[in-house]
Structure 1
Amino acid sequence: MRSILSLVTASFLTLALAAPALAQGAASAPVTPMTPDVIAHFDQVLPSADFIRREVMVPMRDGTKLYTVIVMKKGTKGGPILLSRTPYDAYGSTHRVASQRIVDILEAMDAEFAEDGYIRVYQDIRGMHRSEGTYIMNRPIAGPLNDTGIDESTDAYDTIDWLVKNVPESNGKVGVIGSSYLGFTTLMAEINPHPALKAAVPESPMVDGWMGDDWFHNGAFRVTSLSYATTQVVNKGDGGGEFALGKGDDYTRWLEAGSVGDFAAKLGIAQVPGVRKWLENPAYTRFWSEQAVDKWLAARPLTVPTMLEVGQWDQEDSYGAPAVYRALEPKDKANDMVSLVIGPWRHSGANHGGSSLGALDFTGDTAREWRVKYLKPFFDHWLKDAPDPHTPPVLTYATGINQWQESPRWPMGTNTPLYLGADGSAGFARPAAAGHDDYVSDPAHPVPFIPRPIDMDDGAQWKPWLVHDQRFVSGRPDVAEWQTAALDKPVHIMGAPEVDLYAATTGTDSDWVVKLIDVYPNDVPESADQGGRPSMAGYELPIGIEIFRGRYAKSFAQPAALKPGQVVHYHWALPNVNHVFLPGHKLKVQVQSTLFPLYDRNPQTFVPNIMFAKPADYRKATQSVWFGGDKASAVVLPVVAE
């Protein structure tokens, strides 16, 4: 006869083993030590969550289905839809944190919208992550370069059409927003737009990858493009395309590699389609010029209210937003359909914290201030019938004095040349006598774009590099400098400074890099804070840095050799800025011929395709920068009268 204790113990074990089955219903099999532990799905969203989240596959006109995530607060009715179309994983964009609060799971920039009844939608573009179809980087618009009839504009149209018909909580109005590649897809949604698309905010959009966005700047190739191409195309962007090179100084790595073509061959990526597009098309032929989004938009009516945004120190896409503004503004007869925003930010910085950048401090969180005071009221007006916020035609942040300024147009300043002169001087008076300063550019010892060691995958180096103190290259024999006396009154510029450079080389090709710099007084009262940020005493703050590849002096589409010793007039623009050079500060201009390894080295010997230059092609050259007389090199500043 078993004891009472044994009976109780046996009964308890039976109930314990049966409990999971009972919890799942009588039909579930009892769990055993050999029950498989892998489950197909676990829903992190609990009944207590304050949001609803749906995953759907939205069909396009060709039958391809795109993975789409729809998120909204519980109880939403009559909410506008805010759409972002991304190559960077819609699932991840809606799973930032495992939480039951909508403001936690979404991007920081979504918070104010999510809490105010907006329906937030993220979608993987075709061929990426969970979407079907074939990925083509910056897929050209249907037309001469694309005979499929399918592009990002048609996909946006079909997506919006599906959303307004299948999201019962919406009011039938849609806005699009996104930065960088998402800025490109935002602009594409405005081409032949769906009637329900009522407003768009392209942030730091990729517009012209050759002229001045991600891939080239005035013909000089950005080597970071190579790693971007492989990470995008391997495994639908889900990982596995990173270069397995370990840690080390990218300066040394690229110097030892040789040309871009040599490095691509070494990595085994020379046949990757995205890489081949760059290697085989280094000039601005139809291949690139007919992909320029600003040209597509200029050829079409302006029907969607658009707020264009870019960071003043955008290290990736400084060109696109101002280029689109120039294309659209002539169509905006009442000056109320297109606006331009330039904030004191890095690339995509408007969507994150905006209280500082590198060594610079601003007054409060400038990014959140823009989102709350300008961005959301803009969308509220067009998507929720809120009162007109009277969005300023142009909103820019004046660095130097740290304040937002509204203006009726852009640029605002009057072109005022800052001339280079003798003995390293610079000033607003044109030098009467002509002369030149020389330096030797050696491709074997290129000028680094930031202090070494360089890791271009390190966000702490990459994101703020455009505000890095330029004293680290002062004194190099291959960097020429000109500087004003200390200012006795402020100099306020609003626009894109333009480079007028008269220069010659003993080589047959050359790059020219020009920097406009704000030199702080050496006794400035700012000192390093407790966070270890550098002192601003004597700081040399770059206001604009840009490069120009000499072979394109006469034609971007047809490169030509330079004639040794012949003075050539080069003209190009620095990024758009609103900046005040304060009294006591000085203006400095630096000129050099390498900015490495951000840009590939120019061999300084003309070769038909610079991507495949050979070691013997890389040669020293003496560079001559002319000033005064009829060869008066200058940086033309858009000066605003105070």
Structure 2
Amino acid sequence: MLQAQKLYFPKTAVNDSLVLEKQIALLATKLMSQPTLLKLKKDKRLTYLDHLLRLQMVAKDYKKSIATLADYRNEYAANNMAGNKFILYEFYSMAKVIEEKENISFSNALQKAFNKKYESLSDQLATKVGIAVDGDVIDARKTLHKTLDKQKDKDSIDYASALALCRSYLNYKTFSSTKPQIIQLAASKDAEKFITETKDLKTKNGNTLTITIVRKKENTSPLPVILTNNIYAGSFDPLFGKRAAVYNYVGAVVNTRGKRNSNDENNPFEHESQDIYEVIDWVSRQPWSNGKVGMIGGSYLGFSQWAAVKKLHPALKTIVPQVAVGIGIDYPAQNNIFMNYMLQWIQYVTNNKLTDEADFNNSSKWDSINTAWYKSGKSFRALDTISGKPSKIFQRWLDHPGYDTYWQKMVPYKEDFARINIPILTTTGYYDDDQIGAMYYFKQHHQYNKNANHYLVIGPYDHGGAQSYGFTYVNGNPIDPAARISIDDLAFSWFDYILKNGKKPALLKDRVNFQVMNTNTWKHVSSLEKMHTSTVKFYLQDHKNHSSVFNKPAAKNFIRQTVDFKNRDQKDLYHAVSKIDSLKTTTSLYFESEVLDKDLIISGNMSGFFNVSINKKDFDTEAYLYQIKPDGKSFLLSSHLVRASYAKNNEVRQLLEPGKTEQIPINNSIIISKKIEKGSKLVLLVGVNKNSSWQINYGTGKDVSDETIRDSGEPLEIKWYNDSYVEIPIYQE
């Protein structure tokens, strides 16, 4: 009922900018006293402060908005990396206060506000100001007009719409009036501090690579070079360079073939090993280099470092791969199941010489493409045609469903890892989309090189956080203060340790350093296996019909599941886990444990195996392990997705025999470390992957990319045997 409450907002404001400015300020003032907003003050304080500071700005109460922003930052992150959060709003509010107080133009006031704020920032934060204010003015204007259009011929507005209107108005107002000047001011400050050069390098085989070099003007002696190999050519190139320079290194950022000034063919992942070797050779011989090179970067940039050590250059002394893509391992296929996202990403990095942000961020476009493909029942190979832009890269990747030589040649493979003897620091997170890839390299390096000088830091970070800093909230959940570290500070402390004979970072007390969520502590062990001290087996049974899901069933039995791949209009099904939460079980079976009578720490990978019998030759299985907290809310702990025919060997497909009981091992699941409170329950969902975000495996045994809905035949029948189990790792002091 509170959401339905209407507030006065005249229809004349839609087309008259002067009326809009006056009326929206009044509207923002009214919103600040609404019960719906005030309720958030207690229940969701961060959201409340976010709304409040914007409304105060729209209401032109700039002094209060500055104070609210300070409160927001204190709540948001207990570390110095919160300094740039909403900094554009701060510049605007500060300028408005100065404009009124000193009776000067807004432009002069903005320059004073910028100078004052800039001087208070650390070097690390100051270098990121340009990126922090780089909003899309045109997009902000479009969003505002769309929001206003909804109010045509109306003299009232509901709470949610009013809040959305105020937010879109503020975004356009601040971006349009401050961005150009702030970008120019930030560039001037950078020019005072740094020497930035961009040049083209010619490789031995005639390819062109564009490289950006950034140095601090005050550093006149040769220094170690921190190199980043970047396919995402654009405004981040100088930023990556400055990131190294502010820590007193030379920053070098090279773009891959086909990017920026290169007219070569752009084939992501394929040439990095060869090209980076030549780049390292070049930078190590420049007058500003002391001959030592380190590498850093996340995601594709993390993959690039593993490509670089495939053929190790003597000048490369260390790498810091962050959230590294495991090419052929977790991308473009995770455990041999291709993802629709791969096509969106391919176009993102190949549509032009920089990155195609507009296309990549057009979520409605890509959702509609994926839905159209799913509804059509066409083969996965048809996805690029459905998108309207056929892709040779997409088709080439689909030609390699197993982890074959195409993928193996891009990064170290098996015995290649034994020859990697430089020190390495890997960072990833429990919520990282590329955790499986990052962990693959770590595990393979230690498997083939028993003396590997390779450290791991893993905590409650997502894909962005594990290559920047530990946010206070991840996926809407607060993380422990101990986890709120600057990954940049950690990485460059590591570089100081290796390249400048500095001290080892204090966090690196052993090879594996992991943050135990909900305990505010870090643990340090010598191997991944020691992340846990014991295990418990969660069998495919429900506590309501058995003494415990953790006890092996007395008699062997099975639960039958039927999945009809022809049904593309199936409504989602949900299972209520409490009075306040539920889990989607459309293509999953639900198993619930008894209530836990004591705290326990789940730490590491879930493993185990499924005993199944199916009426087809293959299927894609998925598993999700949840905690149902004492308050009734669900929390995803780990997940596992795999093509059954590749579960035993990701290089060679081994089809299942219909009607025969087969064992599917659980490998490469998501790692987590978290204290589970007494009074919680564990829930296990097991089932079949069938949705519009992934390939659909119809089970014929043909190349899955070529199967269509016509191959689906009779529904998939699965017998899940109750002696199957997920083995859960437990840590005890």
Normalised by the length of structure 2, the TM-score is 0.66
Taking a change above 3 Å as real, the CA distance of residues 59 and 278 of structure 1, as seen in their structure-2 partners, is closer
Aligned to 1:363: 480
- Higher relative contact order at CA 8 Å, sep ≥6: structure 1 or structure 2? 1
Shift in Å at residue 321 of structure 1? Answer: 1.9
1:207 and 2:326 correspond = yes
One-letter amino acid of the structure 2 residue matched with residue 641 of structure 1: Q
Change (3 A) 1:380 1:424: farther
Partner of 1:134: 265
**2-side partners of 1:448 and 1:304: how far apart?**
53
Aligned 8 A contact 1:72 1:114 in 2: yes
Q: Unmatched 5+ residue regions in structure 2?
A: 1-183
CA shift for structure 1 position 359: 2.0
Q: 1:302 to 1:280 in 2, by over 3 A?
A: closer
2:684 is matched with which residue: 586, 589, 611?
589
**One-letter amino acid matched to 2:600:** V
What pairs up with 1:393-542 in 2 under 5 angstroms? 393-412=511-530, 413=532, 414-422=534-542, 427-445=549-567, 472-474=582-584, 476=585, 478-522=587-631, 538-542=632-636
The separation in 1 between residues aligned to 2:190 and 2:462, in whole angstroms, is 39
Aligned to 1:153: 273
Partner of 2:728: 637
Shift of 1:171: 3.2
Query: Aligned residue for 1:262?
Result: 382
Q: For residues 262 and 731 of structure 2, what CA distance do their matches in structure 1 show?
A: 49
Q: Distance in 2 between matches of 1:471 and 1:291?
A: 46
* Structure 1 residue 347 corresponds to structure 2 residue 463: yes
Taking a change above 3 Å as real, the CA distance of residues 449 and 380 of structure 1, as seen in their structure-2 partners, is farther
Which residue pairs with 2:176 in the alignment? none
Match for 1:432: what amino acid?
A
Long gaps (5+) in structure 1: 1-41, 96-105, 140-150, 453-468, 523-537
Q: Return 359-368 or 392-401, whichever deviates more.
A: 359-368
Q: Distance in 2 between matches of 1:450 and 1:123?
A: 46
Per-residue deviation, residues 308-348 of structure 1 (Å, max 9, x unmatched) = 12221222x2222222122222566556x111121211223
Seen in structure 2, the aligned counterparts of structure 1 residues 298 and 578 have a Cα distance that, compared at 3 Å, is farther
Are 1:92 and 2:235 matched, yes or no?
yes
1:295 to 390, 413, 419: 413
- Map 1:226-375; keep pairs closer than 5 Å: 226-239=343-356, 242=359, 246=365, 252-258=371-377, 259-270=379-390, 272-288=391-407, 290-291=408-409, 293-295=411-413, 298-315=416-433, 317-330=434-447, 337-353=453-469, 354-364=471-481, 366=483, 368-372=485-489, 374-375=490-491
Instruction: Provide the C-alpha distance between the structure 1 equivalents of 2:573 and 2:293, rounded to a whole number of angstroms.
Output: 46
Deviation at 1:471, TM superposition (A): 5.2
Amino acid in structure 2 at the alignment position of 1:185: S
* Higher helix fraction (1 or 2): 2
CA contact (8 A) 1:434 1:626 kept: yes
Task: Report the CA distance between 1:66 and its aligned residue.
Answer: 1.6
- Compared with structure 1, are the counterparts of its residues 481 and 204 closer, same or farther at alpha carbon in structure 2 (3 Å cutoff)? same
- Offset from partner CA, 1:251-272 (integer Å, 9 cap, x none): 63332132312333333445x2
Cα 1:194–1:298, aligned 2, differ >3 Å: closer, same or farther? Answer: closer
Aligned length: 532
Paired with 1:196 and 1:282, the residues of 2 have a C-alpha distance of 36
Change (3 A) 1:299 1:477: closer
- Match of 1:85, SS? strand
Moved more, 576-585 or 387-396: 387-396
Q: CA deviation at 1:350?
A: 1.7
Q: Which residue of 1 aligns with 2:298?
A: 179
Deviations 1:537-571 (A, max 9, x none): x2221111121223335654554553443321100
Distance 1:328 1:552 in 2: 22
Match 1:49 to one of 192, 195, 199: 192
Task: Report the Cα offset of residue 366 of structure 1.
Answer: 3.4
Distance 1:381 1:450 in 2: 53
Distance in 2, matches of 1:121 and 1:356, equals 32
Give the corresponding residue for 2:41.
none
Identical columns (%): 23
Deviates more, 1:57-66 or 1:120-129: 57-66
Cα deviation, residue 589, structure 1: 0.8
Aligned pair in 2 of structure 1 residues 231, 365: CA closer, same or farther (>3 Å)?
A: farther
Asked if 2 retains the 8 angstrom alpha-carbon contact of 1:490 and 1:580, the reply is: yes
**Conserved? CA contact 2:196–2:215, under 8 Å:** yes
Would you say the 8 A contact 1:448–1:595 is kept in 2?
A: no
Alpha carbons of 1:193 and 1:262: their partners in 2 closer, same or farther (altered >3 Å)? closer
Q: Is the 8 A contact 2:310 2:416 kept in 1?
A: no
1:616 paired with 2:715, answer no
Deviation at 1:67, TM superposition (A): 0.9
Tell me whether 375-384 or 399-408 shows the greater mean CA deviation: 399-408
- Shift of residue 46 of structure 1? 6.8
- Aligned-partner Cα distance in 1 for 2:721–2:650: 23
Between the aligned partners of 1:118 and 1:558, the Cα distance in structure 2 is: 45
Return closer, same or farther for 1:267/1:497 CA change in 2, 3 Å cut-off: same
Offset, 1:365:
8.0
Other-structure match for 2:17: none
1:385 to 2:494 alignment: no
**Counterparts in 2 of 1:446 and 1:407: CA distance versus 1, 3 Å:** farther
Bigger mean CA offset, 50-59 vs 423-432 = 423-432
Give the Cα–Cα distance (whole angstroms) in 1 for the partners of residues 609 and 416 of structure 2: 27
Go from structure 1 to structure 2 and tell me whether the alpha carbon gap of 1:163 and 1:623 turns closer, same or farther (over 3 Å shift): same
Q: For 1:442 and 1:513, how far apart are their aligned partners in 2?
A: 16
Alignment partners' CA distance in 2, 1:305 and 1:56: 30
Determine whether 1:82 maps to 2:230: no
The one-letter code of the counterpart of 1:308 is: T
Pair 1:472–1:443, CA change in 2 (3 A): farther
Closer, same or farther in 2 for the Cα pair 1:93/1:451, shift >3 Å?
A: farther
Distance 1:339 1:569, change over 3 A: same
Name the residue aligned to 2:63.
none
Secondary structure at the aligned position of 1:235 is classed as: coil
Contact 1:492 1:640 in 2 (8 A): yes
Contact 1:302–1:331 (CA under 8 A) maintained in structure 2: no
User: Distance in 1 between the 2:225 and 2:545 partners?
Assistant: 57
Q: Residue 352 and residue 500 in structure 1: after superposition, are their counterparts in 2 closer, same or farther (change >3 A)?
A: same
8 A contact 1:70–1:121 mirrored in 2: yes
Q: 1:172 to 1:486 in 2, by over 3 A?
A: same
Counterpart of 1:597 in 2: which secondary structure?
coil
Q: Is the 8 A contact 1:251 1:448 kept in 2?
A: no
Tell me the CA shift for residue 449 of structure 1. 13
Distance in 1, matches of 2:573 and 2:354, equals: 31
Matched, 1:114 2:230: no
Letter in 2 for 1:191: K
Residue 220 in 1 paired to residue 322 in 2?
no
Report the AA paired with residue 616 of structure 1.
R
Contact 2:430 2:458 in 1 (8 A): yes
- How big is the shift at 1:380? 0.6
Question: Which residue does the alignment assign to 1:458?
Answer: none
CA contact (8 A) 1:311 1:342 kept: yes
Q: Conserved in 2, the CA contact under 8 Å of 1:449 and 1:598?
A: no
| Mean CA deviation greater in 230-239 or 432-441 | 230-239
Q: Distance in 1 between matches of 2:484 and 2:252?
A: 22
1:427: how far off? 2.9
**Cα contact 1:448–1:594 (8 A) shared by 2:** no
Greater shift, 293-302 or 379-388, is seen at 293-302
